[in-house]
């Protein structure tokens, strides 16, 4: 099974100009794309900052409440929150992991059943799942299958 690094998520206390400009100046990241997520489990603000080469990006997450806020309170700002890898086919990846004794989970850590091998995030049509942290030695690894949302969706003026 081949995977490709999509992004790294890093927890920050806020998304002020100083934080954004650091990544732009130090790493050459492009224009930030801002998002806000609020659901029954959590609330957070986050940005995508594209690297100047390739189609990878840094995701900076400023949690307001929920598990990501609890994680930042425990580990501190600047902590890597997740590593996201892209797969070509989520269903095949789910089946392969299942054959290895690993059941993919949703963002809250609940096992995904065989009839629903992925979850979605409001606002896009990609497929998401996570490897359980008890199998990844504590690292949150997000699995992504892209549909129509691509780098050009966020930064149409940039090509990969």
CATH of the domain at 118: 3.10.180.10
Spatial separation of the C-alpha atoms in residues 75 and 89, rounded to whole Å = 33
The mean per-residue pLDDT over the stretch 27-50 comes to 93
Confidence (pLDDT) at 151: 65
Q: How far apart are CA 44 and CA 42, in angstroms?
A: 7
Report the pLDDT averaged over residues 19-25: 97
97 forms bridges with which residues in the sheet? none
**pLDDT the model gives residue 102:** 97
Per-residue tokens: 62: 């400023």
pLDDT at 149: 67
Per-residue confidence band for 115, with pLDDT thresholds at 50, 70 and 90: very high
Q: What is the DSSP string of 71-99?
A: HHHHH-TT-EEEEEEE-S-HHHHHHHHHH
Per the domain annotation, does 85 fall within a domain? yes
Q: For residue 107, is it within any domain?
A: yes
Dig out the tokens for 12 from the structure: 């920050």
Domain hosting residue 134, numbered range: 4-154
| pLDDT greater than 80 at residue 21 | yes
Q: Is residue 159 part of a domain?
A: no
Asked whether residue 33 is domain-assigned, the answer is yes
64 in a structural domain = yes
∠ CA 119-120-122, nearest 5°, is 150
- What's the helix, strand, coil split of the chain in %, to 5? 20, 30, 45
Q: Residue 19: inside a domain, yes or no?
A: yes
Q: In the predicted model, what is the mean pLDDT of residues 5-34?
A: 96
10 inside domain: yes
Q: Which of 34, 6, 8 is nearest to 20 (CA)?
A: 34
Phi, psi of 101 (to 5 degrees): 85, 20
Question: What confidence tens digit (pLDDT) does each residue in 148-157 have?
Answer: 766 677 777 6
Separation between Cα atoms, residue 128 and residue 47, nearest integer Å = 18
For 66, other C-beta atoms within 10 Å of its C-beta total 18
Indicate whether 97 belongs to any domain.
Answer: yes
Mean pLDDT of 23-30: 96
**What predicted TM-score, i.e. pTM, was given to this entire model?**
0.87
State how many domains the chain has: 1
């Amino acid at each position: 099974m081949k995977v490709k690094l999509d992004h790294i998520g890093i927890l920050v206390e806020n998304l002020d100009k100083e934080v954004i400009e650091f990544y732009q100046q130090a790493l050459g990241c492009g224009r930030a794309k801002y998002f806000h997520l609020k659901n029954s489990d959590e609330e957070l603000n986050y940005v995508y900052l594209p690297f100047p080469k390739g189609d990878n990006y840094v995701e900076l997450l400023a949690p307001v409440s929920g598990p990501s806020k609890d994680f930042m309170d425990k580990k501190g700002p600047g902590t890597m929150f997740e590593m996201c890898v892209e797969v070509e086919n989520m269903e095949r990846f789910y089946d392969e992991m299942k054959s290895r004794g690993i059941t993919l989970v949703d963002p809250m850590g609940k096992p995904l059943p065989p009839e629903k091998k992925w979850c979605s995030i409001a606002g896009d049509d990609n497929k998401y799942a996570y490897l359980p942290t008890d199998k990844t030695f504590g690292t949150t690894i997000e699995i992504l299958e892209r549909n129509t949302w691509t780098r050009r969706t966020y930064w149409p003026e940039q090509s990969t």
